[in-house]
């Protein structure tokens, strides 16, 4: 297994340095965009792929969460702007997300490769990423779209229970608390959030499909879209993903 990077450059930006010097992984350097609706297990797959391929997991959501913990002088200009929108409960505009990614362009051209998660979300962002990678003379390997039937997504997200006190998250079947309805950590009451109710989840999934369809078409036209059926067991999905990626390598080699 390859030593995991602490992603300091990605999370902090500026003059930050990763604690592990990036090294080219044995074999191919992977540069992937990860797509998939909430509940498909994309985060778990990102972790498994990162550990196996040596590619750094570059999550824009992690950057925004880390920004809240950084002192004023430690945040990059784009993060300062983004944090203002987040504190007001507003979506961060495309141009600020693009600025944030642009400040971290060294992560995109890193010899270790990357798994880009949470960006791009729109065709405009995908086009901007394409221009940025072309300017850096870096080629995207594939855009992986993890898919799961809506009923399974409802079961996964609908089973989540959140502590009303410390906000710890449990699952009625996947990660049940020791005492039903009671948080293991602080003893608080476990509740089902409104957006985790089945009817709300279905509305969110329809909105997700509608908003991401143009993005899927964008990568499909470029021959980069790879659809992966996300199963119940993370290891099965990972093995399926690796087989597909190896097929991608074989195809690109035979096409030369």
Same-domain pairing of 26 and 141: yes
Same-domain pairing of 188 and 238: no
Residues assigned a catalytic role: 42, 121, 160, 193, 204
Same-domain pairing of 77 and 175: no
Same-domain pairing of 206 and 79: yes
pLDDT the model gives residue 252: 60
pLDDT the model gives residue 178: 96
Same-domain pairing of 127 and 238: yes
Residue 3 lies in a domain: no
pLDDT the model gives residue 141: 94
pLDDT in tens, 37-64: 988 999 899 999 999 998 999 999 888 8
Same-domain pairing of 78 and 118: yes
- Domain count along the chain: 2
pLDDT the model gives residue 249: 65
How confident is the chain (256 residues) per 10-residue block, as mean pLDDT? 73 80 78 94 92 91 83 80 85 89 91 93 94 94 94 92 92 93 96 92 92 95 94 89 83 55
pLDDT the model gives residue 27: 76
Domain extent, residue 165, equals: 152-196
pLDDT the model gives residue 40: 92
pLDDT the model gives residue 91: 82
Same-domain pairing of 24 and 83: yes
Same-domain pairing of 48 and 162: no
CATH number at residue 219: 3.40.50.300
Kindly report whether the peptide bond that precedes residue 97 is cis, defined as omega within 30 degrees of 0.
no
Same-domain pairing of 248 and 186: no
């Amino acid at each position: 297994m390859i030593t995991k990077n602490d992603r300091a450059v990605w999370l902090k930006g500026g003059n930050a340095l990763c604690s592990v010097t990036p090294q080219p992984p044995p074999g191919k350097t992977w540069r992937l965009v990860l797509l998939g609706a909430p509940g498909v297990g994309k985060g778990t797959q990102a972790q498994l792929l990162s550990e196996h391929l040596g590619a750094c997991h570059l999550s824009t959501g992690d950057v925004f969460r880390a920004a809240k913990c950084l002192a004023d002088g430690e945040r990059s200009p784009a993060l300062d702007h983004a944090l203002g929108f987040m504190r007001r409960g507003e979506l961060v505009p495309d141009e600020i997300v693009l600025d944030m990614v642009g400040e971290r362009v060294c992560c995109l051209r890193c010899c270790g490769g990357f798994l880009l998660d949470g960006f791009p979300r729109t065709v405009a962002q995908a086009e901007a990423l394409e221009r940025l990678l072309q300017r850096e003379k870096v080629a995207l390997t594939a855009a992986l779209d993890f898919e799961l039937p809506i009923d399974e997504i409802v079961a996964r997200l609908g089973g989540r229970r959140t502590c009303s006190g410390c906000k710890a998250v449990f699952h009625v079947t996947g990660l049940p608390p020791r005492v039903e309805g009671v948080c293991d950590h602080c003893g608080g009451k476990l509740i089902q959030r409104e957006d985790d109710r089945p009817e709300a989840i279905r509305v969110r999934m329809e909105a997700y499909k509608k908003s991401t369809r143009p993005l899927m078409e964008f990568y499909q036209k470029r021959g980069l879209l790879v659809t992966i059926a996300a199963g119940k067991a993370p290891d099965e999905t990972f093995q399926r993903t690796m087989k597909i990626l190896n097929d991608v390598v074989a195809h690109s080699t035979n096409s030369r």
